[in-house]
């Protein structure tokens, strides 16, 4: 079948059928937003995650109705980037679980296009990191290094040390991380450190250079650069916008 015929066939498909497929994916939260950051659709897992009973309780609302202000602002900054044509792929981030605890999630987002090719909103999926990994046959191969990173991110350690923890060679460790988390061990370490830095910038009064030190960054300029790449603003800007006085 030619591409032209494929496209003609797809135009006959009711889009609701495709969207509803996301209800069949356990542990995957799926949503669609308009260009004003309002939810226009979400799958059942997302509805349950927000602890509401019906889709109608989500449609028309924004992240500010479901998340702490500093988290909602980060989501909206992401949305602005997506609407400008950028994308987010398998980014590690902290979110809230149904029990109110913090947990690690892996998130991807894309622009939503009209039939004429105009960007009219955004859509995305997020998966609970541990649940995602547990669903994969090789979870035990990365559980040990993932747990080690989460417990020791504030210390200095090499990829070789991490491989030893997992009883793998460095190359095998890197292959496992790419296969199951779609990122290298170094990328995962950096993102864990940066998420913890974001928490400290909000919850503590220690100065920014100390924040970098406490989460494992020995170079302040590198810490600031990586923070900006992940969150879209410098640590000083983030603290100014989101710090909770103690």
Domain edges within the chain? 3-132, 136-242
CATH code of the domain made up of 3-132: 3.30.450.20
The residue with greater pLDDT, 230 or 4, is 230
For residue 175, report the phi and psi dihedrals to the nearest 5 degrees.
Answer: -65, -40
Q: Using CA atoms, how far apart are residues 89 and 93, in angstroms rounded to an integer?
A: 12
The residue with greater pLDDT, 18 or 14, is 18
Q: Is the pTM of this model over 0.75?
A: no
Point out the least confidently predicted range of 43-52, 135-144, 193-202, 231-240.
135-144
- Tokens at 159, concatenated: 């990829």
Say if residue 60's pLDDT is above 70.
Answer: yes
Q: Which CATH class is domain 136-242?
A: mainly alpha
Q: Return the ∠ at Cα 76 (arms to 71 and 82), rounded to 5°.
A: 130
Percent of the chain at pLDDT exceeding 90: 44
Q: Using CA atoms, how far apart are residues 63 and 79, in angstroms rounded to an integer?
A: 11
- Across residues 139-145, what is the average pLDDT? 74
Q: Using CA atoms, how far apart are residues 213 and 233, in angstroms rounded to an integer?
A: 19
- Across residues 82-94, what is the average pLDDT? 82
Residue by residue, DSSP assigns 92-143 as EEEEE-TTS-EEEEEEEEEEEE-TTS-EEEEEEEEEEHHHHHHTSTTHHHHH
Q: Is 81 helix (H, G, I), strand (E, B) or coil?
A: helix
- Across residues 29-54, what is the average pLDDT? 92
Considering Cα of 74, then 123, then 29, then 135, what sign does the dihedral take? negative
Q: Using CA atoms, how far apart are residues 79 and 36, in angstroms rounded to an integer?
A: 9
Q: Which residue is it, tokens 């460095």?
A: 170
The residue with greater pLDDT, 2 or 173, is 173
């Amino acid at each position: 079948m030619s591409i032209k015929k494929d496209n003609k066939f797809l135009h006959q498909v009711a889009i609701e059928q495709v969207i509803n497929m996301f209800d069949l994916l356990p542990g995957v939260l799926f949503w669609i937003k308009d260009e004003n950051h309002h939810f226009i659709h979400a799958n059942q897992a997302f509805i349950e995650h927000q602890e509401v009973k019906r889709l109608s309780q989500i449609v028309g609302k924004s992240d500010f109705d479901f998340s702490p202000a500093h988290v909602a602002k980060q989501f909206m900054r992401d949305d602005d980037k997506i609407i400008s044509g950028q994308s987010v792929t398998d980014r590690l981030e902290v979110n809230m679980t149904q029990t109110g605890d913090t947990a690690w999630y892996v998130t991807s987002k894309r622009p939503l296009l009209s039939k004429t090719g105009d960007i009219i909103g955004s859509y995305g999926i997020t998966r609970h990191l541990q649940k995602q990994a547990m669903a994969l046959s090789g979870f035990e191969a990365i559980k040990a290094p993932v747990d080690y990173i989460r417990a020791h991110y504030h210390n200095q350690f090499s990829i070789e040390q991490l491989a030893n923890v997992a009883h793998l060679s460095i190359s095998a460790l890197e292959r496992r991380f790419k296969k199951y988390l779609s990122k290298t061990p170094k990328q995962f370490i950096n993102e864990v450190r940066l998420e913890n830095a974001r928490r400290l910038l909000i919850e503590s009064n220690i100065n920014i250079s100390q924040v970098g030190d406490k989460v494992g960054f020995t170079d302040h300029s590198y810490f600031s650069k990586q923070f900006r790449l992940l969150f879209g603003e410098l640590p000083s800007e983030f603290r100014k916008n989101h710090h909770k006085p103690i």
